[in-house]
Amino acid sequence: MATEAPPPRGGAATGPVQPTTESFVEVQRSAEFGELRRTYRSFAFPLTIAFIAWYLLYVLLSNYAGGLMGTRLFGNINVALVLGLAQFLTTFLIAWFYSRHAAEKLDPKAEAIKSRMEADA
């Protein structure tokens, strides 16, 4: 069912056979792809919501709790600086955590789907 690009003037095919649109739609409707999407969404959505809430908390505290944010912890280091730097730390931790999650749970499922599609083409 796969289509091949027309051969160039020399007669040899230009590349591997690509899956058809119908095969992509079929895979998209499969339970295996649905499981891959659920696995991704169950990780990405809650973590995204949590990070946005954490960011908005920082913004709200900066705007409405100036006394708290200006509290010195030691030397010239105050609560606002610590929480601001924690935003960066949180970003890197989420990226690292997602990388591990993808390598362990998403990539094997995606590779299995890809391999099956390439074998069928």
Which residue is listed with tokens 């990539």? Answer: 107
Taking only the tens place, the pLDDT of each residue in 27-39 is 899 999 999 999 9
**pTM for this entry:** 0.72
Residue at 49 is within a domain = yes
Residue 3: strand pairing partners: 18
CA separation for the pair 121, 15 (Å, rounded): 12
Residue 99 C-beta-side C-alpha neighbours within 13 Å? 6
**Which of 40, 38, 36 shows the shortest CA–CA distance to 48?**
40
Two tokens, residue 93 = 């931790």
CA separation for the pair 53, 59 (Å, rounded): 10
Residue at 54 is within a domain = yes
Taking only the tens place, the pLDDT of each residue in 7-25 is 555 555 566 678 788 888 8
Number of domains composing the chain: 1
Which is more confidently placed, 35 or 6?
A: 35
pLDDT of 116 higher than 90: no
Domain of residue 45: give its range: 25-120
Which residue is listed with tokens 């590349």? Answer: 15
pLDDT at residue 6, rounded to an integer: 55
